[in-house]
Structure 1
């Protein structure tokens, strides 16, 4: 274990920090910076250096990196990311890794996608960006189209089945993904990229690096911006994305530093329509309609809503504004003691569009008024009409927190690390009604959130949803790194102690469904000030409640370096996922045991062989998954779905990964994974019906996946690569009565480097083809319990389809 000697350590000892606890220092720094953190936490980054003994590990083609961590881990670096489609989500570039399956909603990434790792969906995988958590505070969802531009990513690391000891998460039963921003460059320069492609795709990216400046030339910064715009590959509409990033880095000497970064992302998307398997079989490009029929407004006539307007593409939108400020820092308090502090702040405003038809005499429009009979929504002078309103479900989140660690290098073979994490999110969910323009375009994509509100006769705002939640994570952690046998053996016991608090404030009434459609009790809300509430089918009145969840999560990692090239490792860890807000709003919180935390016990044994020209990794693993939460028909009322426990699931499998630098001109990468999942219990349905889930596989979890990539560089200025992935069959229902077919998708890339000229350098032309063989396949799955009709109700799984063959050309230069 390498330590800094006194000559290397910074002269200033920051003695005042010694008088404060790690958590107090972290909170004070967070308040002072009003900011957040970076990819992996600073302390976890230091742990890697300690365990590996090197600050930069060798890799092959940017797809496989030498790893010595006592856990299953895969890493992709900028070398590989630079070959991918410009503007693509970094999560899509993880798709070749073993056990990882990412389904992209289109070829360019702005419409989002879904990631799974060894059977665990994105809500059960922790995504961090420079150490700060990106999963939604309410439902833990990952929004892949809001991640930082790939050009600014130094690397992305996947911990499979386990977390870092300081991971700021209450949901990671399936592992973590850490995305790390690059540092500013030490020389002044500008980099630019311009891309064009299929579906009228266009994108521009530029970044300015200041180079070193300030006293001692120890400060550097970058400022980056990008814009992309393209048409949907099916149906009507387009997707636009703007992004801005900046980072300033101050080198304090002796390895100490302070960094502050900021990120802002804005999406304005028309959504792709999901459909059943039968619909896509008859029309692969089925989507929302492009015909808007203006609604009539005639006095004395009961005007109605044209039947096609609710599925008009311009009311099916997905806007989002997201941003964060991130801080990172490391301070030596003495030669052997370090303090890391990573504070952050995040902001989110987003919705998924949608409409609702409202009668002008709806009780919600009367409210507490004693005289009004309704509100004339269309201005035709009567109260006879039904009017289509824009009714998005807005989520507005303000989130702040800090991850901090105190690290003591006891000697060359012993290190102790104590950490504290705070993550505090205020989660506001509203359904703000507003009007739709005469051409079918919402007057504001966020509805009545900011303007254009619709009011009842008593002055109250018309809303489809109104709730406020707080999610607060307080977490302590302890890790010990011990080395023995000439540092060939590394043992890392650790303990994570999360305490998670949810505060629930439901301001609306919850009703059960009375229609032929099945409604979720977490979303079937009726918001009104009207005192004459109908008691029929009333499930719950407005309420306030709290729920607390905690569990000690031990882990143990062991690595033995047999030779400099050959190592074996063992990993045990426990995972924990607290219920989501929707889980809790849909049940009565005074009924204990209905929704409990999910828990995992993970075991893995692996072997690695690593040289500069050949790297391999093989592992076998087993996970016991307790209390998996699913959404299914309420056994007591077939009109509703509720979230409840499916019970125990056992998972086991094997993974292999290899990179081979065959010659200086040819690199080869391959991976494969086998994942077996088995549900252990049946699920009770309504009217005595039993869903036969026992012995079935988890949804959207292929047993077999295999991937490969070959890169060939016949000339110093010319390279080409082809990569592909096979994805096996996936169950689309919990009962396994509908499956997808397996598919293979290949991508091609070639690049030509141009000579430096006129002050321009690093200039190249790049050409990408996605879905090279133009395969058609079912992509992202919105699963259901069963396709069977139960108690008169049925719920088919719905899908996204894969984008067809897509072409893109890019020119890059810098000066």
Structure 2
């Protein structure tokens, strides 16, 4: 009882603190004052709840093997009417030789991956059903990973994170309620490795084309007196396929676990530091695209003699550290709870050489009456993201009921500095100084009920609130509040042991991004998602087919254009839809020969799309949604000729797609078909060294020249007296045939 009394007092303190702890920004310096009371109260509640649970459960529960349920609140289960694919660490391991998570997942259904540097290292991204990374909800152990303002996911900030993954689930469509940004194309939730009963150590090294190398050291103490420690430290570096697109990244992961009876407590610290040379401009010149595919215009300038030069420090530099504290408790046979506190701190900048800039725009004085000068600038982002997530789960033979939610706060500073000018004019400390603060609160209830042994009903209700304040030199000050209700429902019918059918309907809403306020696309979006699926499971064949219809209001579609920092520009398209069929299969031809084909056939259209061409706004009718191919095919063909040996041929076809929404031939991105070969051999020794694993990956074995991404833009010229609209495009070439070789020693 005393603990319960203290808990109530702490909760009252927290509520009072949260209600009065809005960020305070001093206008002269824009610095932020963080409330330590809020953090202290959250940790106090966590501690007293844990203490209370230990007191009330003494002798009430026998020792139980506690299953890993950290991510269960945001994941779909087999009986849920959700379209999803699970990926295990064993499936990731043979190809985990330095390439980033989006590249490792590119063979999943409806997935298209791309990389700026052309070889899967550095800045990478993925799209699902044509939706880009800012519309894919990503969580790490149930904690939001999407950047709060851009809503994008930057895996480059977590180097070699794949080496610390236990499993991944990719939900396509709206899916189940989760924490963080709204899912408008997919949800990607990743679970990191849990505790291990036995001690281990592993050293992994790989090397390959473009001087790509990865070095990883992992360890685990094993479970002793209810405690276990494990960790990883990594270095990944590459020169990149594109000129000067080198990257150098350091990553780490540390996990401390406490396991006793029905309790699991995990503290995790992970993150990384990256330095990458910018490669986000692509190639606009068709001749260079044909004859000089590695050309990189980033950092280009001309010296006093008119000779082309490249600035050495045209780089992106960022540090990000994540801290998570998870507590999982099994209170009884039916009740399980999860609670987590998290804190992410990030800071970094990108540096640019700019020619012929107007010094007045940088608050700098003219030199001998001349205000035009070359200069070097740094644009900084300094942010903090913290909060709490929770879930309470009740399960019996018929019912699976879950209540959960999260409260998160983001505090971001945006500022720019001039560090050099052509005529050595004293540089200003800062030429702009802005902020973006965002609070995100959501509550959800999920219920799954077995009406009969064959029929399962599912319902999921989420209420989400977003409070956003921001200033910028590009748009007027923002102070917006969004309130969203996101219901989902469906049913799953198990016809017999092999066949199951499901139907699903879900509504999702999403707020604009920071950059959308600059482009004027500030309407929130709404999505109505209809899914109808069939699952067939037998000993030799697994076949999953899913038809989807995604209906959008005010969808923020990619225009194809980039802003001045290489970020994509969006626009509200009014009415639009995606209609398609996904088929995923796993076929065991023999015990040693496995076949895993998948394909997506879809139609992605804007309805009655209006666009200004040659000074006249025109109704273009139904047009293709940008970056949405009508056909995607993937396959993994695996052969297991001997114990420990696996040979795989992986194939990916991505159909023709437009990079804009006006169906311009200039914006067309050609289809491509690439194949990779992967081999791994696990040699078990168990004499001092447990095993040695050899891996080989040959990417693009047929040396195909292709571009997986690009951009499209239009501009008007009225110099002739008439407005004439011109079009242009840029492309991101990907590497031809290239290889990676790796060896890991396990102890």
Residue 422 (structure 1) aligned with residue 351 (structure 2)? no
How far, CA to CA, are the matches of 1:46 and 1:632 in structure 2? Answer: 35
SS at match of 2:471: strand
Q: 1:344 aligns with which of 326, 342, 351?
A: 342
Q: Is the 1:244–1:264 Cα contact (8 Å) retained in structure 2?
A: yes
2:739 to 807, 812, 815: 807
**Contact map agreement 2:354 2:376 (CA 8 A) in 1:** yes
Q: How does 1:98-247 map to 2 (within 5 A)?
A: 98-106=109-117, 108-147=119-158, 148-165=160-177, 167-213=178-224, 217-247=225-255
Q: Is 1:723 aligned with 2:721?
A: no
Q: 1:264 to 1:556 in 2, by over 3 A?
A: same
Partners of 2:557 and 2:570 within 8 A in 1:
yes
The superposition leaves residues 509-564 of structure 1 with CA deviations (integer Å, 9 ceiling, x where unpaired) of x5xxxxxxxxxxx5xxxxxxxxxxxxxxxxxxxx5430111121100131122223
Greater displacement, 726-735 / 133-142? 133-142
Report deviation, 1:331. Answer: 2.2
**By how many angstroms is 1:352 displaced?**
4.2
Give the corresponding residue for 2:672. 743
Could you say what secondary structure the match of 2:312 adopts?
A: helix
Give the TM-score taking structure 1 as reference length: 0.78
1:770 Cα offset (Å):
0.6
Alignment check: 8 A CA contact 2:580 2:603 kept: yes
Paired residues for 1:302-317 under 5 Å: 308-309=308-309, 312=310, 314-317=312-315
In structure 2, how many angstroms separate the alpha carbons of the residues matched to 1:125 and 1:290? 28
Pick closer, same or farther for the CA change 1:780–1:586 going to 2, 3 Å: closer
Aligned ranges 1:662-701 → 2 under 5 Å: 662-685=589-612, 688-701=615-628
Change in Cα spacing, 1:41 to 1:277, as seen in structure 2 (3 Å) is: farther
- Partners of 1:780 and 1:652 in 2: how far apart? 22
In the TM superposition, what whole-angstrom CA distance separates every residue of 1:640-670 from its partner, at most 9, and x where no partner exists? x996421010110000001122222222111
CA contact (8 A) 2:541 2:585 kept: yes
Residue 805 (structure 1) shift: 0.9
- Alpha-carbon deviations, 1:52-107, whole Å to 9, x = none? 5xxxxxxxxxxxxxx43320001111122111141221222221121111123346
The 5 A counterparts of 1:576-725 are: 576-587=509-520, 595-630=522-557, 644-685=571-612, 688-725=615-652
Is the partner of 1:120 in helix, strand or coil? coil
Q: Do residues 499 (structure 1) and 478 (structure 2) align?
A: no
- How many Å apart are 1:144 and its aligned residue? 2.9
Describe the superposition over 1:552-585 as per-residue Cα deviations: whole angstroms up to 9, x where unpaired: 1100131122223321111111111101112224
How many residue pairs get aligned? The number is 692
Alignment CA distance shift 1:206-1:642 (3 Å) = closer
Q: Residues 393 and 693 (structure 1 numbering): CA distance in 2 closer, same or farther, change over 3 Å?
A: farther
The equivalences for 1:276-295 within 5 A come to 276=284, 278-288=286-296
- Pick closer, same or farther for the CA change 1:152–1:284 going to 2, 3 Å: same
Distance 1:43 1:111, change over 3 A: closer
Q: Please give the root-mean-square deviation of Cα atoms over the aligned residues, in Å.
A: 3.5
**Cα 1:454–1:478 shift into 2, 3 Å:** farther
Q: Counterparts of 1:158 and 1:244 in 2: how far apart (Å)?
A: 24
Report the counterpart of residue 56 of structure 2 in structure 1: none
Q: Residue 639 of structure 2 contacts residue 646 of structure 2 at CA under 8 Å; is this kept in 1?
A: yes
Aligned mates of 1:285, 1:580 — CA distance in 2: 33
SS at match of 1:92: helix
**Aligned counterpart, 2:444:** 477
Displacement after TM superposition at 1:43 (Å): 6.3
**Offset at 1:339?**
2.6
Deviation sequence 1:100-151 (CA, Å, 0-9, x none): 1112334653322231111211111111111122212111112232345222
Tell me how far apart the structure 2 counterparts of residues 690 and 436 of structure 1 sit (CA, whole Å): 43
Distance of aligned partners of 1:43 and 1:184 in 2 relative to their CA distance in 1, 3 Å threshold: closer
User: Within 1, Cα distance between the matches of 2:464 and 2:182?
Assistant: 10
Please give the secondary structure, in 2, of the residue aligned with 1:234: coil
Q: Is the 8 A contact 1:569 1:605 kept in 2?
A: yes
> Which one of the candidate residues 354, 372, 395 is aligned to 2:352?
354
Aligned twin of 1:572: 505
3-state DSSP class of the match of 1:584? Answer: helix
Cα separation, 2, equivalents of 1:682 and 1:703? 19
> What does residue 770 of structure 1 align with?
699
* TM-score, structure 2 as length reference: 0.85
Q: Shift in Å at residue 435 of structure 1?
A: 2.7
**1:281: Cα distance to partner?**
3.8
Distance apart, 1:772 and its partner CA: 0.7
Q: Distance in 1 between matches of 2:598 and 2:331?
A: 44
Please report how far the alpha carbon of residue 173 of structure 1 lies from its aligned counterpart in structure 2 after TM superposition: 1.4
Distance 1:292 1:211 in 2: 52
> What is the aligned partner in structure 1 of residue 392 from structure 2?
406
Q: Secondary structure at the match of 1:747?
A: strand
The runs of 5 or more residues in structure 1 that have no matched partner are 1-12, 53-66, 296-303, 367-373, 377-381, 439-451, 511-521, 523-542, 588-593, 635-640
Change (3 A) 1:170 1:192: same
Cα distance in 2 for residues equivalent to 1:33 and 1:346: 20
- 1:329 aligns to what? 327
1:4-28 deviation line (CA, Å, top 9, x unaligned) = xxxxxxxxx9998799989979987
Is the Cα–Cα contact under 8 Å of residues 110 and 632 in structure 2 kept in the other structure?
yes
Q: Deviation at 1:364?
A: 4.5
Unaligned runs of 5+ in 2: 19-37, 48-66, 562-567
Instruction: Work out the CA distance in 1 between the residues paired with 2:358 and 2:185.
Output: 48
Q: Over residues 256-292 of structure 1, what are the superposed CA-to-partner deviations in whole Å (9 max), with x where a residue is unaligned?
A: 3111111121111112241227244433424236998
- The structure with the largest strand share of the pair is 2
Equivalent-residue separation in structure 1 for 2:361 and 2:522 (angstroms) = 33
Structure-2 change in CA distance of 1:351 and 1:283 (3 Å): farther
Measured at CA, do residues 114 and 784 of structure 1 come closer, stay the same or move farther in structure 2, by a change above 3 Å? farther
Distance in 1, matches of 2:532 and 2:359, equals 66
> Is 1:87–2:98 an aligned residue pair?
yes
Q: Name which of structure 1's ranges 552-561 and 795-804 shifts more when overlaid on structure 2.
A: 795-804
CA distance in 2, matches of 1:496, 1:642: 29
Residues 1:676 and 1:291: Cα distance change in structure 2 (over 3 Å) = closer
* Alpha-carbon separation, structure 2, partners of 1:91 and 1:701: 17
CA 1:621–1:761 in 2, change beyond 3 Å: closer, same or farther? same
- Determine the structure 2 residue equivalent to 1:60: none
| CA drift at 1:686 | 7.4
What SS does structure 2 have at the residue aligned with 1:150? helix
Q: Structure 1 residues 778 and 692 mapped into 2: Cα distance closer, same or farther (>3 Å)?
A: farther
Q: Structure 2 vs 1, CA of residues 96 and 68 (structure 1 numbering), >3 Å: closer, same or farther? A: farther
- Give the number of the structure with larger relative contact order, counting CA–CA contacts within 8 Å between residues 6 or more apart: 1
Alignment of 1:21-100 (within 5 A): 30-31=42-43, 42=69, 44-45=71-72, 67-100=78-111
Query: What per-residue deviation string (whole Å, max 9, x for no partner) do you get for residues 266-324 of structure 1?
Result: 111112241227244433424236998896xxxxxxxx796745xx2524322221121
Rounded Cα–Cα distance in structure 1 between residues aligned with 2:118 and 2:422: 31
* Contact 2:511–2:525 (8 Å) recurs in 1: yes
| Cα deviation 1:463-516 (Å, max 9, x = unaligned) | 2x4320111111111222211213x2221111111111110123x4x5xxxxxx
Change in CA separation of 1:682 and 1:586 when aligned onto 2, cut-off 3 Å: closer
Paired position in structure 2 for 1:258: 265
Alpha-carbon contact 1:632-1:785 (below 8 Å) kept: no
